[in-house]
Structure 1
Amino acid sequence: MTPNEYQRKAMRTATGKCYDATNAALGIAGEAGEVADEVKKFTFQGHDWNPSRVVEELGDVLWYVALMADLLNVPLEYVMQTNIEKLERRYPDGFSNEASVNRSE
């Protein structure tokens, strides 16, 4: 499945009040928090590592990212491509601490 196919299929479930930038932004933050919570439970609370739960939460993050992109009328592939272009500008030779400290942007 391509990112744009995902976006199209995911947006079949975005209806009514949920099709809103505030909902998208809060959803991204909330679901990212659930990813972090899984890591916290494993790292500090003695829970078993549950990769399938993390993948499930990443899917929820992705749904809200697709929603925000849709609200902005941009395909998810465009969001991905512009991010890669930004990373290539910042770190043309790959990430390093020195490149991060001395980047021009």
Structure 2
Amino acid sequence: MNVNDYQRLALRSEAPQRTRNERLLNAALGLCGEAGEWADTLKKHVFHDHPLDTAALSKELGDILWYVAIACDALELEMSDVMAENIAKLRQRYPDGFSAERSLHRAE
């Protein structure tokens, strides 16, 4: 699926008639909540000897993407542009791939 198609389809399930600030706050709180659920599932695997529940982790990642789509739309951004900007930043920061040395001594 194309990421911008996903963004448009995800918006179909957003509650209607919200202000921009409400949409941004909903996205911010939702991202925190879903990231917490993702982390909790992983915590149970690592520290409580539960089997790794990749299905649950996948569902939580989907929920995280939904909130990212809402945030991007509220900011009048396309997810693909945000993703491309992030890759450009990472290429500049780590032109030859990740390096602990470059991570420790970043120019920015």
1:89 corresponds to: 92
- Moved runs in structure 1, 4+ residues, more than 2 A? 16-19
Partner amino acid for 1:43?
V
Instruction: Describe the SS at the equivalent of 2:12.
Output: helix
2:15 corresponds to: 15
- Kindly state the Cα deviation for residue 70 of structure 1 after the two structures are TM-superposed: 0.5
Stretch moving more, 13-22 or 3-12: 13-22
| Matched-pair identity in % | 49
Partner amino acid for 1:42?
H
CA distance in 1, matches of 2:57, 2:72: 22
Partner amino acid for 2:70?
L
Q: 1:27 aligns with which of 3, 27, 30?
A: 30
In the alignment, structure 1 residue 64 sits paired with structure 2 residue 67: yes
Listed one character per residue, the Cα deviations across residues 79-99 of structure 1 (whole Å, up to 9, x for unaligned) are 100100110111111111001
- Kindly state the Cα deviation for residue 46 of structure 1 after the two structures are TM-superposed: 2.0
Can you give the 5+ residue segments of structure 2 that lack an aligned partner in the other structure?
A: none
Partner amino acid for 1:15?
A
1:101 corresponds to: 104
- Kindly state the Cα deviation for residue 15 of structure 1 after the two structures are TM-superposed: 1.9
2:39 corresponds to: 36
Instruction: Describe the SS at the equivalent of 1:13.
Output: coil
Can you give the 5+ residue segments of structure 1 that lack an aligned partner in the other structure?
A: none
RMSD of aligned residue pairs (Cα, Å): 1.3
Alignment length (residue pairs)? 105
TM-score (normalised: structure 1): 0.95
